Structure 1
Amino acid sequence: MMESTRTNKRRSWLLAGLVLLQTLVLAGIAVSYYAVGWFGQEIRVKTVPVDPRDLLYGDYVTLSYDISRLDPGLWKEAGPAPERGEPIYVVLKPGADGLAQAVGAYRTKPAVQPGEIALRGSVNYNSPDSIRVKYGVEKYYVPEGTGKSLEEKADRLVVRMKVAPWGQAKIEQLEDRT
């Protein structure tokens, strides 16, 4: 009888531990998203949007950035540039116009100078002419019916985003440069 009581207590503690672990994982995911806004450094990036529609979420704008197409000369590490799907850190620095410009690309997170940011992405395509990078901020959901108006001013849009010290980005706002 004493043995079954111990077994039941042990199972109860194990079950409670598993529930706590699941709760912590979910809370960690939520906190990591908000942590980008709390600790992130703001940058502005020029975009070229396209306006599709998502049945579940409504209108969104697909964004393509100037910094998504890198010159292979920006690759700063020895050896070949990473292949499709591999992680990449792109070092950005504000240009004279205030928009972020890529100044280097690395396989691992580099030390950055003051005023620079290392943005984490993954290689989407690699050729002798360019390295294409996806940063995970290529979709931006907008209020229903506003996607078309954004599409019309595509050449004037700038994305204001925050980049956390670990390289994760979050879109804060779309701005019209005019």
Structure 2
Amino acid sequence: MIKPNSVKLRSKLIVALVLIQALFLIGIAISYYAIGWYGKEIRLQTLPIDPRDLLYGDYVNLNYDINELSTSLWRGPGDVNDLSNNLYVVLKLDELSKNGTYKAVALYGHKPKIQKDEVVLKGHTNYTGDSTIFVKYGLETYYVPENTGKELEQKANLGKLVANVKVASWGRAVIEDIEIP
């Protein structure tokens, strides 16, 4: 015979597990929207290639100036070749840029303290060359309306595409839009 207390306890545990899972999913959604609410908007110079996805339509693969970084920017402790997969790139407005884009000024293996005019972008190392670190930020794909990808690709090949990106204080970023200055 099953005791009534054990049935009540089991029911409470199931409800608690379902509630925890729901809160976890809501937290993930809120963290994505929080980037838009609290993030700082920056501009990045792009270099795209235009593929097509059967499910999502046209999209543009983007490369940024900040995807290939010199190892001379390393400011973390230890050797740059001993990097873990995660790293933090400090960006600052490029004073020489005609279109107000940001450039990388330092690399860290942990989230650094930054100045008011700087932004930290969290990335993942793809691989490290002799003097170059290749970094992915999760900003490398941008979906566009159908039949507009080729036009963007042509503009990008002329160096005329800039991505407007929102960066949250914890380093996560999303592309707001792509602009032809």
Alpha-carbon distance in 2 for matches of 1:62, 1:166: 24
Aligned residues with identical type, % of pairs: 52
- 8 Å CA contact retained: 1:88, 1:108: yes
Which residue matches 2:40? 41
- 8 Å CA contact retained: 1:82, 1:123: no
Q: How far off its partner does 1:128 sit?
A: 1.4
The reply to whether residue 113 of structure 1 matches residue 115 of structure 2 is: yes
SS in 1 for 2:114: coil
CA RMSD of aligned residues (A): 1.4
Alpha-carbon distance in 1 for matches of 2:38, 2:153: 31
Which residue matches 1:174? 178
Which residue matches 2:168? 164
SS in 2 for 1:15: helix
- 8 Å CA contact retained: 1:82, 1:88: no
What are the within-5 Å matches in structure 2 for residues 135-174 of structure 1? 135-154=137-156, 155-174=159-178
Relative to structure 1, is the Cα distance of residues 123 and 83 closer, same or farther in structure 2, using a 3 angstrom cutoff? farther
SS in 1 for 2:46: strand
Alpha-carbon distance in 1 for matches of 2:105, 2:93: 10
Residue identity in the other structure for 1:136: G
Q: How far off its partner does 1:170 sit?
A: 0.5
Q: Deviations over 1:33-69 (max 9, x none)?
A: 1011111011100000111111111111000000111
The TM-score normalised by the length of structure 2 is: 0.93
The reply to whether residue 70 of structure 1 matches residue 69 of structure 2 is: yes
Alpha-carbon distance in 2 for matches of 1:65, 1:89: 16
Q: Deviations over 1:90-136 (max 9, x none)?
A: 00000122210100000000000111001000001101121010001
Alpha-carbon distance in 2 for matches of 1:29, 1:82: 32
Alpha-carbon distance in 1 for matches of 2:60, 2:3: 59
The TM-score normalised by the length of structure 1 is: 0.95
Q: Deviations over 1:111-166 (max 9, x none)?
A: 00111001000001101121010001110011111111111101200000010000
Structure 2 regions of 5+ residues with no counterpart?
none
- 8 Å CA contact retained: 1:84, 1:125: no
Structure 1 regions of 5+ residues with no counterpart?
none
Which residue matches 1:5? 4
